[in-house]
Amino acid sequence: MALLDILVYPHPRLRDIAYKVDTVTDEEREFIKNMAETMYAASGIGLAAIQVGVSKRIIVIDISDNSDDLLVLINPEIIKHNGIQICEEGCLSVPEVYAEVTRAKEITYKYLNLDGKPVTQNADGLLAICVQHEIDHLDGKVFVDYLSRMKRDRIRKKLLKINK
């Protein structure tokens, strides 16, 4: 087991488009274990591989109160969405910044599970937000991209200064 370093915005690798996983191997499963450990250690409810510098379409999520319901999504895709909801979001790659983002209220999404088997599921509420937030990461997108240029610039400058 190992904790991985989380890249902080505006790190350029957060703009990478992640590659699909071909086959889910033991190597992937070992990496996913470390992703989950890293997410729990950082008290996050989700983590995308790109946030730890790995350009693969892999996401871990746990929105449960007891941190005992790990979801692993490989090659996730949203195939249907409905309605809108607004939630105050944060991101492990944008520390101490919180802002309202508008997203779909309900989604249907498909992915490969840890066994490499295709699964289709529905989600709403916080899980739907989290899946959309994480898939954005896989496409090089960060939640601050939805904010005004002025707010985004302010966040960028603040984080650049802290991480110098």
What does the per-residue mask of binding to ligand GNR show for 6-45, with x meaning CB under 6 A? --------------------------------------xx
Q: Please name the helix (run of DSSP H) or strand (run of DSSP E) that holds residue 76, with its range, or none.
A: strand 71-91
Whether 72 and 60 have beta carbons less than 8 Å apart is answered as yes
Give the closest residue to 123 by CA, choosing from 66, 61, 75, 65.
61
Interface with ligand GNR: number of residues (CB under 6 A) = 17
Q: Please name the helix (run of DSSP H) or strand (run of DSSP E) that holds residue 42, with its range, or none.
A: none
**Choices 8-16, 71-79, 106-114, 130-138 (CB under 6 A): range interacting with ligand GNR:** 130-138
User: What is the amino acid identity at position 149?
Assistant: R
Contact flag: residue 91 with Ni ion (CB under 5 A): yes
- Give the pair of three-digit tokens for residue 145: 């991209």
- List active site positions: 134
Give the closest residue to 39 by CA, choosing from 74, 104, 91.
91
Contact flag: residue 48 with ligand GNR (CB under 6 A): yes
What does 140 bind: ligand GNR, Ni ion, none (CB cut-off 5 to 8 Å by kind)?
none
Give the closest residue to 35 by CA, choosing from 12, 58, 15.
58
What does 75 bind: ligand GNR, Ni ion, none (CB cut-off 5 to 8 Å by kind)?
none
- How many secondary structure helices (H) and strands (E) does the chain include? 3, 5
**Choices 28-36, 77-85, 89-97, 148-156 (CB under 5 A): range interacting with Ni ion:** 89-97
What does 90 bind: Ni ion, ligand GNR, none (CB cut-off 5 to 8 Å by kind)?
ligand GNR
Contact flag: residue 91 with ligand GNR (CB under 6 A): yes
Q: Which stretches of the chain bind ligand GNR, using CB under 6 A?
A: 44-48, 51, 87, 89-93, 129-130, 133-134, 137
